[in-house]
Amino acid sequence: GENVEQHPSTLSVQEGDSAVIKCTYSDSASNYFPWYKQELGKRPQLIIDIRSNVGEKKDQRIAVTLNKTAKHFSLHITETQPEDSAVYFCAATMSGGYQKVTFGTGTKLQVIP
Amino acid sequence: EAGVAQSPRYKIIEKRQSVAFWCNPISGHATLYWYQQILGQGPKLLIQFQNNGVVDDSQLPKDRFSAERLKGVDSTLKIQPAKLEDSAVYLCASSFRQSMNTEAFFGQGTRLTVV
């Protein structure tokens, strides 16, 4: 089955700096890669996603890049703010008869004011 | 649109007792997932339904966990008997399309503590 590794497990940055979280996946059949943000005690919520036919996607201060050959994808947050502090999960999804989603282990991001 | 509803929000039980969680997905969503999230870890899929049929329960500990989705809408997840290691947040999620890659919407979760 699919295996998703996520690094780092914790990340501290100064407010205004950039943060990068990296994920690798094992199954080349995966073709959809969502990123979820989970604030303390709350539900995971989608913040950005990318499909395998696209190499990069940007939405304001967040961007995601995908390298299908190397089977890795990354989340980039620029100009970080304290409200960006949360746990971020990447996921790799493959479709066939049904959608199969495998999550990474999460990255706890702390933005220091 | 209304989100995924779960109840209860919190539950404390003693080991060997039984417990049930309820989930009401977003209206029209054919796919329903139950995830177990242990503190500090990513969500782990327990079972996935497509309408009222199970499509993946490979990681469900079937000796103690069971789930059903009667009529293809609401779902219940049951643990009987509970063990200490079952302490976790149980997340329900739903998505619209059956085989296309689409976003999963999560409920608030049920935090289970087994003592």
**A99 min Cα distance to partner chain B (Å):** 5
pLDDT value of residue B98: 61
**A46 min Cα distance to partner chain B (Å):** 7
pLDDT value of residue B72: 84
pLDDT value of residue A49: 95
**Span A76-95, average pLDDT:** 95
pLDDT band at B23 (very low <50, low <70, confident <90, very high): very high
pLDDT value of residue B96: 86
- Sign (positive or negative) of CA dihedral B111, A92, B61, A106: negative
Instruction: Tokens for B38, please give them.
Output: 């242990």
pLDDT value of residue B1: 53
The residue among B63, B98, B92 whose CA lies nearest residue A44 is B92
**A4 min Cα distance to partner chain B (Å):** 10
- Shortest CB distance from B41 goes to which of A42, A51, A105? A105
Instruction: Fill in the amino acid letter for A46.
Output: L
pLDDT band at B109 (very low <50, low <70, confident <90, very high): very high
- Shortest CB distance from A103 goes to which of B40, B42, B108? B42
Contacts of A71 (CB under 8 A, 6+ apart): A24, A25, A26, A28
**Span B45-64, average pLDDT:** 93
pLDDT value of residue A66: 97
* Radius of gyration of chain B from its Cα atoms, rounded to whole angstroms: 13
Cross-chain Cβ contact A98/B41 below 8 Å: no
The Cα–Cα gap between B73 and A7 comes to 36
- Shortest CB distance from B108 goes to which of A32, A43, A97? A43
- Shortest CB distance from A32 goes to which of B45, B50, B101? B101
Q: Chain A: which residues have CB within 8 Å of chain B? A: 1, 6, 31-32, 34, 36, 42-46, 49, 51, 89, 93-106
The Cα–Cα gap between A109 and A43 comes to 16
pLDDT value of residue B102: 78
Cross-chain Cβ contact B45/A51 below 8 Å: no
pLDDT band at A94 (very low <50, low <70, confident <90, very high): confident
pLDDT value of residue B71: 86
The residue among B80, B84, B82 whose CA lies nearest residue B67 is B80
**A51 min Cα distance to partner chain B (Å):** 9
Mean pLDDT across chain A: 94
Q: What percentage of chain B exceeds 70 in pLDDT?
A: 96
Above 90 in pLDDT, residue B49? yes
- Residue A48: list chain B partners with CB under 8 A: none
Above 90 in pLDDT, residue B100? no
Paired residues of A50 in beta bridges: A33
Q: Any idea which of A54-58, A99-103, B56-60, B96-100 has the lowest mean pLDDT?
A: B96-100
pLDDT value of residue A69: 94
pLDDT value of residue B99: 57
Q: What percentage of chain A exceeds 90 in pLDDT?
A: 84
**To probe the interface with A, which of B36, B89, B91, B101 has the most A CB atoms within 10 Å?**
B101
The residue among A35, A40, A54, A43 whose CA lies nearest residue A101 is A35
- Residue A7: list chain B partners with CB under 8 A: none
